[in-house]
A and B are shown apart, each in its own frame.
Chain A
């Protein structure tokens, strides 16, 4: 079964850092772009970042640009999100989501269960 499992969520103080991980099972991520999407408590979905299958290309939403870094280790079938200079407004469930092969426009066909990040003093 194709699955994505996020981990690394925690309570962190404003200005702090955190690294999220997304481990794939049931398939190899090496052929797929991968993304992070977040959902603040009681709110809607917001795209955060995407990384190409090779890792050569990365893109970020305006709200996280310059603070978050996406990366991947295809040998471990794992995608990461390094989050620095965290703010209260970054509080959210962070979902990992897969992009269909070569099809960025039809993104997010598979989602993980999410990991909660809380930024508070």
Chain B
């Protein structure tokens, strides 16, 4: 299985300041078709996961534009340009390139400083 490794595992951010989460995969996530299938999910406290980003940088409907994804190959980043109180939660990266064995990162907990 492809191992996904996130860093940091915990992040305390001042309101209005940027935040950045890194995700590395043990194998390239470039599919045979040339696309890269890396998604980001947000899980607010007490809630189900919600997909924010798919295919590295595409925002899902309704996701604020302060969230952005980037990266290629084996290294990816989720950035929040200005953290708001509602952004508190755990963020997971997930690879879909090597389905049917989808794998998630360990999660990064974002809290307000």
A interface residues, Cβ below 8 angstroms from B: 37, 44-47, 50, 59, 61-62, 95, 104-109, 111-114
- The stretch from B17-25, B65-73, B80-88, B90-98 touching chain A is B90-98
Interface residue SS majority, chain B: loop
Q: Which residues of B have CB within 8 Å of A113?
A: 48
- Looking at chain A's contact residues, the main secondary structure is mixed
Q: Which residue of A lies closest to B49 (CB)?
A: A111
Question: Would you call A109 and B60 a contact (CB within 8 A)?
Answer: yes
Pair A107/B102 contact, Cβ less than 8 Å: yes
The answer on a CB contact under 8 Å between B102 and A47 is yes
Residues B50 and A111 in contact, CB atoms below 8 Å apart? yes
Which A residue's beta carbon lies closest to that of B104? A45
State whether the Cβ of B76 lies closer than 8 Å to any Cβ in chain A. Answer: no
CA distance A107 to B103 in the complex (A): 11
Cα–Cα distance between A47 and B41 once the two chains are bound (Å): 14
